[in-house]
Amino acid sequence: MQFNKSLMTAALLAVSSLAVVSANAATATPATFDVKLEVLAMCNITAGAASDIDLGTVNDGSVKTGNNTIAVACSSGTPYNVGLTSSTSETDGTGTLTGPGTAIGYVLTQTAGAAGTPWGDTVGTNTLAATGNGVTAANTHTVYATTTTSTDVAPGTYDDTVTVNVTY
């Protein structure tokens, strides 16, 4: 029986000492950390065959006008400029359609018609300025093309390639 009392006393002392240790435990000063993410500005251009401007057909030498759209998706709030350059590196919005006969001049504009606002590739002068709505919400921009020289030339297909440049 003496052994049981000693065992019981030892057990009570052990439990009591744990309670005393728990009651006297210290709390460390809280520490903090940050969660960070850097979002970089970016822009994507959607152009290509779907953006081709087809001026149709002509057999009377008349002026031809057409349009289509390009899409630009830039980070939300990111200001950007869209510039257009013809294959002959003209930055003033003019270009040349080449084919089997005399070349045909044309102008790219931001508004309809040959007298519309020229659309070239000189930022601050003749580019289109806009602000991004987010990379998943593209802005569409209409491009107009109008012939500026006679279309009374040798029959055949005339074309040019335009490069879309986005500066942000």
* pLDDT tens over the chain, length 168 residues: 455 555 555 555 555 555 555 557 899 999 999 999 999 999 999 998 889 999 999 999 999 999 999 999 999 999 999 999 999 999 999 999 999 999 999 999 999 988 999 999 999 999 999 999 999 999 999 999 999 999 999 999 999 999 999 999
Q: Would you state the pLDDT for residue 23? A: 58
Q: Would you state the pLDDT for residue 16? A: 53
Q: Is 69 exposed, middle or buried (0-12, 13-18, 19+ CB in 10 A)?
A: middle
Q: What is the pTM of this model?
A: 0.78
Q: Would you state the pLDDT for residue 11? A: 53
Q: With CA atoms as reference, report the closest residue to 127 among 107, 109, 106.
A: 109
Q: Would you state the pLDDT for residue 4? A: 54
Task: Identify the bridge partners of residue 141 per DSSP, sorted by sequence position.
Answer: 70
Report the distance separating Cα 71 and Cα 131, nearest Å.
12
Report the distance separating Cα 77 and Cα 130, nearest Å.
10
Report the distance separating Cα 133 and Cα 73, nearest Å.
7
Q: Given CA atoms 115, 116, 117, 120 in this order, what sign does their dihedral have?
A: negative
